[in-house]
Amino acid sequence: MKQKVQALADQIFNEVVGFRQHLHANPELSFQEFETAKFVKDKLSAWGIPFTEMANTGVVGLIKGKGDSDQVIALRGDMDALPINEANDDKPYKSKKPGVMHACGHDVHTSSLLGTAYILNQLKDEFAGSVKLIFQPAEEILPGGASIMIKEGVLQNPTPQAVVGQHVMPLIDAGKVGFRSGIYMASTDELYVTVTGKGGHGAQPHQNIDPVLITSHIIVALQQIVSRNADPRLPSVLSFGKVIANGATNVIPNEVKLEGTFRTLNEKWRDEAHRLMKKMAEGIAESMGGNCHFDIHRGYPFLINEEKLTANARAFAEDYLGKENVVDLDIWMAAEDFAYYSQVTDACFYRLGTGNALKDTCHSVHTPNFDIDEDALKTSTGLMAYIALKQLGN
């Protein structure tokens, strides 16, 4: 079976490269993936793979194998791009849309899942069970396309026993993949804080209630939540990336806007940290004569890779790629809405190496220079198909 998958991955490789370059040149933001969804549906239709639509721009294909086995595995690829202006001017597939770019590799995920679909469809008379193909919108913004698709029934009719996803990783060389069992990625919450005081002339601070000073105290003090309240064995991240104080050199504003993120790997501590942050910020503002509105937008939960499924997938990867091409992953404090699948069913989310220093493809995701070594597309299509086939047979 491995040789057949590898041969089909070689056969579809050039087409998958073309898929990826087309999608990269025509990126669409979250919940706006209309042309991307049409592209996916056209390919599935051409191959005779039935599909349904959900979450407005989501597409769900289904490949049924031989017999009447009720075994089902789901494979997920996300489709949305980011609001980033691409800097890869020398690439013919550079984004045609100013300010929109596939800077997180979702073009890779979508084109790879199409390649995997082709392989599995060619082999459908050689495996029992079914493969559900989840082409998902809106991973990049809350509430996350995964949560919407789950509510609309993507994990029903038929119900998969496992969901598998992959994500590009420029820190890993192309041709390699990475796995981690257990808790892998963090929960994420967005923090929106408004500190209100009394503005006035910068030369008369005694007549004002300075929200800039209050906000400064809040930013510094809130770091105690991580350093002095969190269990030091439990990773937690609190970062503020946006502060707006619309005053001037001699003008103290009436209010300051503050935005940040909080991430951790434990739901009980997550809730407690929310309570402590809100209480501390409001207390500091009140003690200094101002007011603080602390709004927490609860985001994705933490992502957990089910132990047995992940051990199986890793073993299949070692068989398919060679043990030397499978590496261990550390905890990753970024967040992913794939976590929603992992909270309701067995899930495995692994990393696809796309880096190559000689091809200058080691730039981080979410940057204007992100790109991939397209040789990774041969790995991505074949390996996911092989994992699905072996897991169904397992």
Catalytic positions: 80, 139
* Gap between the Cα atoms of 210 and 187, Å rounded: 34
User: Which of 78, 77, 68 minimizes the C-alpha distance to 158?
Assistant: 68
- Residue 222 CB neighbour total at 10 angstroms: 23
CA–CA separation, 303 and 332 (whole Å): 10
Q: Tell me the HSE value of 329 on the side-chain side, using a 13 A CA sphere.
A: 28
| Token representation of residue 134 | 């989840």
Cα separation, 183 vs 392, whole angstroms: 24
Which burial class, exposed, middle or buried, applies to 340 when counting CB atoms under 10 A from its CB (0-12, 13-18, 19+)?
Answer: buried
Q: Is 124 left (phi over 0), alpha (psi -120 to 50) or beta?
A: alpha
Q: Give Cα separations from 192 to 28, 286, 292, 300, 362 (angstroms).
A: 26, 18, 10, 16, 33
Distance CA 68, CA 74 (A): 17
Reduced 3-state DSSP string for 324-376: HHEEECCCECCCCCCHHHHHHCEEEEEEEEEECHHHCCCCCCCCCCCCCCCCH
Rounded CA separation 36/44 (Å)? 13
Q: Identity (one letter) of the amino acid at 157?
A: N
Give CA separation, 141 vs 147, 256, 285, 354, 365, in Å: 11, 24, 30, 24, 16
**Cα torsion 123, 126, 132, 138: sign:** negative
Backbone angles phi, psi at 39, to 5 degrees: -60, -45
Rounded to 10 degrees, the C-alpha dihedral 300/362/26/33 comes to -10
